[in-house]
Amino acid sequence: MKDNTWLHRWDERYGNEEFAYGTEPNNYLKEQLAQLNPGKILFPAEGEGRNAVFAATQGWDVYAFDISSNGQKKALQLADESNVAIDYQVGELSTSDYQKEQFDVIALIYAHFPANIKSSIHQMLEQYLKKGGYIIFEAFSKKHLDYIAKNEKVGGPKDIESLFSIDEIKTDFPDYKIIELTEKEIELNEGLFHNGTGSVIRFVGQK
């Protein structure tokens, strides 16, 4: 799947000097990583690297990918400024060279893939996670459309198919031990594009 409109959108968003979602890590990711011993972690659709770089500063061996070369450039710049190294590939999951059961954690933080492939990507990712490993997930819920209608600055996809439900997560990650799976209202203050009250799905599952 090569969607040039999608690629152009993210290259444009990450093409400015300012970081679209800031340089601080996502709060939920930060909370969850604090409870785990560092190992190998993968960040799909990692954009400008704020979460990957944070994990590296906490001693994790970090891998990431995104379709945007502008995102990679910003992420490597941020890693350099933070005196850490991350392995960041540009491309889609299907073109990556990750190994089966390579990772202790896969962190999906606002990894909103196009609606027609989002579930298949979730299911493809499972092979790269070790038995006993964890998925950490935060992304906008289907209820989030109501929040965008009140405040566009909160960000997020504007089509319901790209948003998530608890049932979708259960279907995409079957046979996981559910440590947390909840839909909740949160306050976001992440850079230019995530500001205000939104509705998210949060999930931690163990394979």
Residue among 143, 114, 166 at smallest CA distance from 5: 114
| DSSP state string for 53-98 | HHHHHTT-EEEEEES-HHHHHHHHHHHHHTT---EEEES-GGG--P
pLDDT tens for each residue of 15-49: 888 898 899 999 999 999 999 999 999 999 999 99
Closest CA to 60 of 40, 36, 80, 30: 40
For residue 30, give the H/E element and its range: helix 27-33
What pTM was computed for the model? Answer: 0.95
Q: How far is residue 119 from each of residues 31, 87, 111, 156, measured CA to CA in Å?
A: 25, 25, 11, 18
| CATH number, residue 132 | 3.40.50.150
**200: closest CA among 150, 158, 137?**
137
Which pLDDT value is given to residue 6? 74
pLDDT at residue 1 is higher than 70: no
- Which of 171, 162, 160 shows the shortest CA–CA distance to 123? 171
What are 55's two structure tokens? 């994990």
Pairing, β 103-109 against β 177-190? unpaired
The helix-helix angle for 4-13 and 69-81 (nearest 10°) equals: 30
More confident residue, 11 or 207: 207
Structural domain for 87, as ranges? 4-206
Averaged pLDDT score across all residues of the chain = 95
> Domain tally for the chain?
1
As a whole number, mean pLDDT of residues 140-165 equals 96
CA distances from 147 to 88, 136, 185, 197 (A): 33, 23, 10, 7
How distant, in Å, are the alpha carbons of 37, 52, 89, 131 from that of 86?
A: 18, 7, 10, 23
Give the model's confidence band at 8: pLDDT under 50 very low, under 70 low, under 90 confident, else very high. confident
Average pLDDT over every residue of 107-118: 94
Residue 68 has pLDDT above 50, yes or no: yes
pLDDT at 2: 47
Q: Taking a C-beta distance cutoff of 8 angstroms, is the pair 71, 14 a contact?
A: yes
Residue 186 in tokens: 């949160």
Q: How confident is the model at residue 92 (pLDDT cuts 50, 70, 90)?
A: very high
Q: What is the DSSP letter of 204?
A: E
